[in-house]
Structure 1
Amino acid sequence: MTRRKVVFGIYNADGSFFGELRYSLSKVIGKGSCSLCDLTHGWNPFGKRQWKTRCKFSELDIQLIHRDEATESQLRAAGGLPSFITESEEGWIKILNADQIKEFKGQPSELILRLEDSFHKK
């Protein structure tokens, strides 16, 4: 069985209880948001069904982590958050940046196709 390539999506939010609460409050009052959070979860704490279904059938192993769960080297490679990164022989490399992720608002399947396509071009 072939191993799937691992891709990390890093949320622009912290994963702790207070981090989640802070993010929710910021989003409600319009002071902040995370386009990756919106794509994968929206207001559903269990995640959007469309996102989870599409990930299940992806050729990639998409791992989602919060910024406080990422290593320093992952955060350096990601730059601005949210971001998608993967590990290469040279270390962590960015696949999609925050502006690119925003382009896929409401289109999780298209985002995953874009991630998959990024590996076919190499």
Structure 2
Amino acid sequence: MSDKRLIGVYKANRGIVGEIAYVLGHLVGARECNLCDITHSPIKKKSEFKKLEKQLLTEFGIEFRLVHMNERTDKELAASAGREPCVLLEHEDGSLSMFLDYLELKACDGRVSSFENLVRSRLDFFV
């Protein structure tokens, strides 16, 4: 089993105020989070994404953790500040590197299948 972990960083804050601000901003086109579009429907986490999380853990031993901007550790903040949304890779030694940036997430256009293809192709380099 790998000691690596993927950490998805949303471009939104957790909490009722953060969620309302994001939803209202999204509705009027003032806010977007391409990672949110990949992982969630308007109501809940997509079943396809839940399936992908399980597959990554089973096939690669890699946990996929999702955090909002106000939930990041200091180390996660240092690796992702101003680059949200993104996916970080936590290495065995605890260091973090950019795994997928916001442009790559945007190219997925909210599709879990596109995201999965991108993650799997990138994991070939890291695992």
| Band of TM-score, shorter chain | 0.7 to 0.9
Instruction: Tell me: CA distance 1:56–1:81, structure 2 relative to 1, closer, same or farther (3 Å).
Output: same
What residue in structure 1 maps to residue 97 of structure 2?
Answer: 93
* 1:106 Cα offset (Å): 3.1
CA contact (8 A) 1:11 1:36 kept: yes
TM-score of the aligned structures, taking structure 2 as reference length: 0.83
Distance 1:57 1:121 in 2: 18
* 1:85 Cα offset (Å): 0.5
More strand by share: 1
Q: Please list, as runs of the form range in 1=range in 2, the aligned pairs for 1:57-96 lying within 5 A after superposition.
A: 57-58=55-56, 59=60, 60-79=62-81, 80-88=83-91, 89=93, 91-96=95-100
Of the structure 1 ranges 19-28 and 70-79, higher mean CA displacement relative to structure 2 is found in 70-79
What residue in structure 2 maps to residue 36 of structure 1?
Answer: 35
Instruction: Tell me: CA distance 1:50–1:90, structure 2 relative to 1, closer, same or farther (3 Å).
Output: closer
SS in 1 for 2:8: strand
> What are the ranges of 5 or more consecutive residues in structure 2 without an aligned counterpart?
none
Q: Percent identity?
A: 25
Instruction: Tell me: CA distance 1:71–1:90, structure 2 relative to 1, closer, same or farther (3 Å).
Output: closer
**Once superposed, which parts of structure 1, at least 4 consecutive aligned residues long, lie more than 6 Å away?**
none
User: Deviations for 1:64-109, whole angstroms, at most 9, x for unmatched residues?
Assistant: 1101000232122124100100222372111011111111113213
What residue in structure 2 maps to residue 21 of structure 1?
Answer: 20
CA RMSD of aligned residues (A): 1.8
Corresponding position: 1:5 with 2:4: yes
> What are the ranges of 5 or more consecutive residues in structure 1 without an aligned counterpart?
none
TM-score of the aligned structures, taking structure 1 as reference length: 0.87
CA contact (8 A) 1:54 1:109 kept: no
More helix by share: 2
1:52 aligned to which of 38, 50, 53: 50
SS in 1 for 2:116: helix
